[in-house]
Structure 1
Amino acid sequence: MMMTERGMVAPAAGGSVLAQFDTILAAAAPELAGHVQAVGFDADTGRLDVAPDAPAYGTQLRWKAPKLIAAANEKVSGANVRTVHVLAPAPAKAGPTTAAADPAPQPAVPAVPVERRTPPEGYRRAIEAHRQAARPSRVDPAIAEAVERQTAAMRALSLRAFSEPEPEADDQPAPIEQARTERRRQADVSHAAALRRARAERAAREAGTAAAVRQTASLGRTA
């Protein structure tokens, strides 16, 4: 106890838990071996701090925490591990495998100029035959002139047969406006004719009433 209080030796339980963590992990969760490392152990509280190298392994470690605590207390006597504290993911330690994975620099290979080979004789003959067969056709100028005259004549006949309508002046009303104006004019004419007919009929009725009154009066005097 005196040596421990003066810091002459480390607590045996804490050092054993950290030293034997790989064995404890292999017994509790062998699938996590190589992906989890112990970073600290508090003997007074019984908390074991572990750090995975990826979030997925941290999730699995939280599910395996009860088995990990039981394996630690079984492998290390007097360890008294109570809780497992999962820290943030830590990068994996670079081991011999990681160092060997880096490829050694390769010497630069000098560029070799590409040599163009002469095509064989058969290939050149085939290319020349294709060029001879695919020469552009030459049109007779007389035929081209006759085609131009025929095209001009057909265009003139088309213009005479289907003459384009003359453009309307800007001050002339559009067809829709002309139709509306014509309808309004016809409505005005019809309204005026109806007024004249109504006046004539009223005048006729008034004239007939006066004649009937005069005839009744004369009959009364005769009687």
Structure 2
Amino acid sequence: MGFDADTGRLDVAPGAPAYGTQLRWKAPKLIAAANEKVSGANVRTLNVLAPAPARADPAAAAAAPAPQPAVPAVPVERRTPPEGYRRAIEAHRQAARPSLVDPAITEAVERQTAAMRALSRRAFPEPDVVPDDVTARIEQARLERRRQAVATETAALRRARAERAAREGQTADGVIGRAAKASQMGRRTA
């Protein structure tokens, strides 16, 4: 948007707020690049203005007033705080903070923690060291569960086959029953 040679300020107006943020992040690189490309430019600061809407007509863009800076170019000077304020802050820093924790409560918490650890050790004792070649208890339990699952599945399959055979008029071994055979013969003759 503009360059002030006296102060070394380069004014830039991004098209969107996100571009403005990127320009602020990359300001040192942009200043170095501008000084490298244009000899004698001596750009010292990059002033990112408020985002300007894009104008299609270049004549209208040239006639329009330049956007005002969103942030003042002059750095804000901090005043030194009054002497009374500085003394109050120093006194606050040096003051010892009183303990808000009751020693009796701290002692009770420590006793309770020790008791809980003792109960935990009794409820969950450390297992004895098991040699590597011996199956651990957990592996034995897993094997037993697998055996039970296989037995349950086998029993369920037998029952399903028996129920299907009964629906079809057969016995479980696949032989057609006498009553089923007679009823089938009666249907054919009728």
Higher helix fraction (1 or 2): 1
Shared fold (TM-score greater than 0.5)?
no
What's the TM-score once normalised by structure 2's chain length?
Answer: 0.29
Q: Determine which structure has more spread, i.e. the larger CA radius of gyration.
A: 1
